[in-house]
Chain A
């Protein structure tokens, strides 16, 4: 019976954005049709399906692609095994929540209790309850993914980073320096894929991984495209692309891996911010690296100081053996459209 539901559900809802939201809403919708004793397994299967379609959307991780294939062929011999696996994962994820978090979430999503009456019961406000529910959903997604991967976080930085990504809270992501952690932590880089894809692709931001020479060209093109949308003049676009070229090259030359994140700004006026992170050896003397003529590669020693001259704001933070983050901003000229 469960299998049949899964199959029909897969056909009906090919895409899913949010594991818990979707799962619980579906369970809620099916409550009348499901026998009381079957509610829990049904929820688990639905959860698994939602997750699977999430992975499918991402289409990034081979290991999980075959999970998906299994789901689309529910008669495959190991389907029951996988089903058990997911049931365990959901159970394990739920265990990581506090009693209060779990009860509130279930009361809201499963029994339809609204945030106002929950707030009354908990001696809180509706807004606070709603925020708490969002955090709980974000945590549940993270715990589920960890359980599915059958792994523990590599460090105590992993959970805060993953939860910040899961909740889509950009400020929190900055606070925990999520971008840097994803460069450093292979596990989180992998788990972040389905989390980042949760329907919140920001169209005012692009992220370009930098590993090889060719990526420098991609970074130049990426930043040019995005900045063009902010109305920069052709000259400014070339200036920004040139600065990005310089700092991306630094990543390729000095670090094994890094990324360029380009973000459009609205306040106080239109602009573009570029963050370049790497996991390189770091710069022991930033002051010196910003001096003209200081160079350890075949350039003109213009990498950092040159980029600084091209941009309006420029900051370098570097830690030896850990890496470097360059943050630079260009504001659109007043006269531009």
Chain B
């Protein structure tokens, strides 16, 4: 990456000193040359990509299609000087190849290889006239660097976007709070609970209570293999904190062992609403939620 930065610097300083005249006169000539030898140069480039073990994840057909597009885009940018089309293409390409596991260094690698293949070809063509070669390279290099830079930046941007999206999706998936019906949440606890995870679950539940305006929460611990004292304490805290936000908690799936743990740490189980299985818990929840409807028919004892 450090190298890329130097490249960028060279480019900007190179541009300012570049003879504008040369750029206008020589670039069309270069472009014509690169178009004329398109098949041969593209082939050469593809071979070097293969030798360098870049883009191994792609099939030969895909490689063929993509190298052709990249080549044509590349030459077009040299011709027009506008990177916008390339940017779109690079982003589009990135979007397609990122899910295949293509890494940044591969993308930067293939663009630098193309730069090199084309530079060698120019070198060959103009080697008899050293002064002209110098001017040709002066015109070519800044444009080539700009292309490499654009592709790399587009790829990295796209990659970051994809990563962010994936993280959001994962977070969404791991959000444990499921709104079952209006004002009712289920928090199924699955897998091993450590202190940190228990803490996160509690935080998510509390936020969920506010978001969904939940009045009843069913915490199902059937899927939690062991509940030690620390986790049991967290469970009690979760129940208490939910109450502070105006939600009642029903705990389902409480095994005799876990019940024992709770009693050992001094939890008064009679003050916790525990129901054998999830189905029973949901029925109790509905009853609690419907409670106010029944209440309006007349007073009901506590």
**Mutual binders A and B:** yes
Q: Which residues of A contact B (CB under 8 A)?
A: 233, 235, 333-335
Q: Are B203 and A333 in contact (CB under 8 A)?
A: no
Q: Are B203 and A235 in contact (CB under 8 A)?
A: yes
CB distance from B236 to the nearest CB of A (A): 13
Q: How far is the CA of A235 from the CA of B200 in the complex (A)?
A: 10
Contacts of A235 in B (CB 8 A): 203
Taken residue by residue from 184 to 204, chain B's Cβ proximity to chain A (1 for < 8 Å, 0 otherwise) reads as: 000000000000100010010
Contacts of A334 in B (CB 8 A): 196
Nearest 5 CB-CB pairings of A with B? A235-B203, A333-B196, A335-B200, A334-B196, A233-B203
Taken residue by residue from 202 to 230, chain B's Cβ proximity to chain A (1 for < 8 Å, 0 otherwise) reads as: 01000000000000000000000000000
User: What are 6 A-B pairs at a CB distance below 8 A?
Assistant: A233-B203, A235-B203, A333-B196, A334-B196, A335-B196, A335-B200
CB distance from B180 to the nearest CB of A (A): 25
Contacts of A333 in B (CB 8 A): 196
Q: Which residue of B lies closest to A235 (CB)?
A: B203
CB distance from A310 to the nearest CB of B (A): 12
Contacts of A233 in B (CB 8 A): 203
Contacts of B200 in A (CB 8 A): 335
Q: Which residue of A lies closest to B203 (CB)?
A: A235
CB distance from B101 to the nearest CB of A (A): 25
Q: How far is the CA of A334 from the CA of B203 in the complex (A)?
A: 15
Q: Which of A235, A333, A334, A335 has most B Cβ within 10 Å? A: A235
CB distance from B59 to the nearest CB of A (A): 39
CB distance from A293 to the nearest CB of B (A): 14
Contacts of A335 in B (CB 8 A): 196, 200
CB distance from B195 to the nearest CB of A (A): 11
Contacts of B196 in A (CB 8 A): 333-335
Q: Which residue of A lies closest to B196 (CB)?
A: A333
CB distance from B295 to the nearest CB of A (A): 34
Contacts of B203 in A (CB 8 A): 233, 235
**Docked complex: B151-207 residues within 8 A CB-CB of A:** 196, 200, 203
CB distance from B64 to the nearest CB of A (A): 43
Q: Which residue of B lies closest to A334 (CB)?
A: B196
Q: How far is the CA of A335 from the CA of B196 in the complex (A)?
A: 10
Q: How far is the CA of A333 from the CA of B200 in the complex (A)?
A: 10
CB distance from B173 to the nearest CB of A (A): 16
Q: How far is the CA of A235 from the CA of B202 in the complex (A)?
A: 11
**Docked complex: B18-75 residues within 8 A CB-CB of A:** none
Q: Which residue of B lies closest to A233 (CB)?
A: B203
CB distance from A334 to the nearest CB of B (A): 8
**Docked complex: B111-166 residues within 8 A CB-CB of A:** none
Q: How far is the CA of A286 from the CA of B225 in the complex (A)?
A: 39
Q: How far is the CA of A233 from the CA of B203 in the complex (A)?
A: 10
CB distance from B252 to the nearest CB of A (A): 26
